[in-house]
C-alpha cells in the first residue's frame, strides 16, 4: 500500500493553498496532488480487498495506492478502464455477498442520482464481509462548488482535461455536494454502524471522510 511519509504530510499541509489553486492531477514539485492526497487518506482506512465505486480514469486508487488489491468499477468507460469494470445497473453490483473487506466512494457519492443513493449503499453493504467498512469522502459544500467551477475554467482556458464529470455528463439528480447529515443518515439506513467523520488535516479540514462498519 502506497502512503505518504510524515515529511510529505507536513509539506502538503504547508503548500495546500498552492496545490488547491493549481489543481494538478499528478504529484509535482515535491508536492502531492489533491487526488493523491485524497487517495492517501482513504487508503489509511481500508481493511483489505477493496471495491472502489466510481473509480474513474485508470482505476488509480486500486492500481496505484492499493497495489491492485481490489476492483474498480464505474458507469462510464473512462480512459484505462476495461469492459469488465463497467457496471450498467448500479442498483446491483456484479459480485456475491461478502466479497470485499472495504468499499470506497471517493469524492463521488454526490454523483449517484438521488433516487438511487440508498439502493447503491445497500449494495455496498451487501458485498461487504462482516466486519468490513465503507469509506466515503466529501468536501466542504462551498469548497465543492468552487472546485467544480475552477476545474471548468481551467479546462476552458488552458485546454486541460480535468473535468471528468463534464466528460461523462451530469444526471439531473446529481449534486455538487452532499451534507454531512445526508451521508450519515443514508449510511445508517443502509445498515452501517459506528459511523464517524475524519477531517483531512493536510487540506486544512476543508475535506473529510466518513467511515461506517458492517457488523
Question: Within a domain: residue 28?
Answer: no
Question: Within a domain: residue 177?
Answer: yes
Question: Within a domain: residue 27?
Answer: no
Question: Within a domain: residue 146?
Answer: yes
**pLDDT tens per residue across span 123-151:** 999 999 999 999 999 999 888 877 766 66
Question: Within a domain: residue 121?
Answer: yes
Question: Within a domain: residue 157?
Answer: yes
Question: Within a domain: residue 3?
Answer: no
**pLDDT tens per residue across span 63-79:** 999 999 999 999 999 99
Average pLDDT value over all residues in the chain: 92
H helices within the chain, ranges in order? 6-14, 16-22, 34-43, 60, 117-127, 141-158, 164-168, 180-190
Count of alpha carbons within 13 angstroms of residue 111, beta-carbon side: 22
Give the residue numbers spanning the domain of 75: 47-213
Number of domains within the chain: 1
CATH of the domain at 59: 3.40.50.150
**pLDDT tens per residue across span 88-113:** 898 899 999 999 999 999 999 999 99
Task: Calculate the CA dihedral of residues 172, 166, 103, 120 and round it to 10 degrees.
Answer: 20
Contacts of 204 (CB under 8 A, 6+ apart): 13, 16
Question: Within a domain: residue 201?
Answer: yes
Amino acid at each position: 500500500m502506497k502512503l505518504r511519509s510524515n515529511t510529505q504530510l507536513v509539506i502538503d499541509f504547508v503548500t495546500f493553498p498552492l496545490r488547491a489553486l493549481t489543481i494538478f492531477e499528478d504529484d509535482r514539485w515535491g508536492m502531492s496532488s489533491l487526488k493523491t492526497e485524497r487517495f492517501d487518506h482513504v487508503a489509511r482506512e481500508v481493511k483489505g480487498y477493496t471495491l472502489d465505486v466510481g473509480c474513474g480514469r485508470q482505476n488509480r486508487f486500486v492500481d496505484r495506492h492499493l497495489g491492485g488489491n481490489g476492483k474498480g468499477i464505474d458507469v462510464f468507460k473512462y480512459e484505462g478502464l476495461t469492459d469488465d469494470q463497467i457496471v450498467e445497473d448500479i442498483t446491483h453490483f456484479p459480485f456475491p455477498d461478502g466479497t470485499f473487506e472495504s468499499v470506497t466512494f471517493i469524492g463521488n457519492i454526490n454523483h449517484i442520482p438521488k433516487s438511487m443513493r440508498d439502493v447503491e449503499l445497500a449494495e455496498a453493504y451487501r458485498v461487504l464481509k462482516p466486519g468490513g467498512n465503507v469509506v466515503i469522502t466529501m468536501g466542504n459544500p462551498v469548497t465543492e462548488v468552487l472546485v467544480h467551477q475552477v476545474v471548468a475554467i481551467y479546462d476552458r482556458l488552458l485546454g486541460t482535461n480535468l473535468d471528468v464529470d463534464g466528460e461523462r455528463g451530469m444526471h439531473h439528480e446529481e449534486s455538487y455536494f452532499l451534507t454531512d447529515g445526508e451521508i450519515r443518515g443514508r449510511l445508517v439506513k443502509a445498515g452501517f454502524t459506528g459511523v464517524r467523520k475524519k477531517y483531512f488535516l493536510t487540506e486544512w479540514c476543508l475535506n473529510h471522510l466518513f467511515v461506517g462498519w458492517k457488523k
